[in-house]
Structure 1
């Protein structure tokens, strides 16, 4: 039986900066929309550092947190896969999704689940705005999540990772095959054997 996201995880909006972010060498690192990669991972290698006031613990990221894009066309999360060496601030309008208990929900499973068509359809049906698409915190918290036992969650996570690896290899193989055939056709066009 599905459970609402708010029953299994905390959803918190990131730190709201009152003005444009100004880089500061001695400041705190901040995760922004641009730091979420194409493969839905939080890239912490080149975070902008800014001077900030008081930040709540709930606006800091840690290993296993999901960073959810609340605005734009892509309403999918990115997973925090590296253990931060220092406090990293999440900037609004991003949401931090943190599972309440890893004994009940694997963050990797929740990340996978939020990418599935059923979850994405639910979120798409709750988008507000015309020029700037947005999903509210309440809508995200109300998302029904199918929650199998931990061993089943782990099997799903492992199988999804294998599928992604296979797709990556097939794409690389296809690109190499295209390049090989293109080269052979060019040689044929030039009369070379």
Structure 2
């Protein structure tokens, strides 16, 4: 059975990140390009805070939404999108992002985790590179994102794909930790050999 496909704008509502004034303060946490890591997770270690008198609710990131980097540089293009599975309620993506939410009519045919994964795939990334404008930092237009063709397998296939991806990421983290500890062990052993002579 062939998978269905449709334009992204037909299943997602797309809005732009925050572009307003930022005063000193800690009312909101601003998500910048560097805060979305290669696995699609939000890194809170170096997140900036700010305050403002008026904040439109549309700029606040909500559970189940997708962050998509519209500004793609050679350093940041490795991760095009990330799924937000919940967290602080004062997160505000910067203007470098589009925020996507699955519309009510499409929630029974596609899950947001799958859309986030799809947006980061090599074939899709090549499409974005071909339509992106700019030299040093290529910027993707909302209109180009809206007409992206999204291949939609059955929901059960989407869930299996996301589970496989989750396990693969866990395995990678474990391997990286093992390599780090092994390197440290070898370094300590070599240092001990030198000082014992």
The TM-score bracket by the shorter chain reads 0.7 to 0.9
User: What RMSD in Å do the two structures reach over aligned CA positions?
Assistant: 2.5
| Structure 2, unpaired ranges of 5+ | none
Q: 2: CA distance between counterparts of 1:149 and 1:52?
A: 45
Correspondence 1:166 to 2:171: yes
Q: 2: CA distance between counterparts of 1:79 and 1:32?
A: 15
Higher normalized strand content (fraction of residues): 2
Q: 1: CA distance between counterparts of 2:33 and 2:185?
A: 37
Q: Quote the offset at 1:34 in angstroms.
A: 4.6
- Structure 1 stretches of at least 4 aligned residues deviating more than 6 Å after TM superposition: none
Q: CA offsets, 1:2-56, max 9 Å, x none?
A: 3221122121112321x5x22235x45544435434532235685523214362x
Q: 1: CA distance between counterparts of 2:155 and 2:65?
A: 18
Point out the more displaced range, 103-112 or 34-43: 34-43
The aligned counterpart of 1:41 is 41
Q: Quote the offset at 1:133 in angstroms.
A: 1.5
Q: Quote the offset at 1:187 in angstroms.
A: 3.4
The aligned counterpart of 2:10 is 7
The residue correspondences of 1:111-150 to structure 2 (distance < 5 A) are: 111-150=116-155
Q: 2: CA distance between counterparts of 1:49 and 1:191?
A: 54
Correspondence 1:68 to 2:75: no
Report the number of matched residues: 187
| Structure 1, unpaired ranges of 5+ | none
Q: 1: CA distance between counterparts of 2:136 and 2:35?
A: 23
The aligned counterpart of 1:80 is 84
Tell me if the contact between 1:62 and 1:84 (Cα under 8 Å) persists in the aligned partners.
no
For 2:139, what is the secondary structure of its paired residue? coil
The verdict on how the C-alpha distance between 1:109 and 1:191 changes in structure 2, with shifts beyond 3 A counting, is same
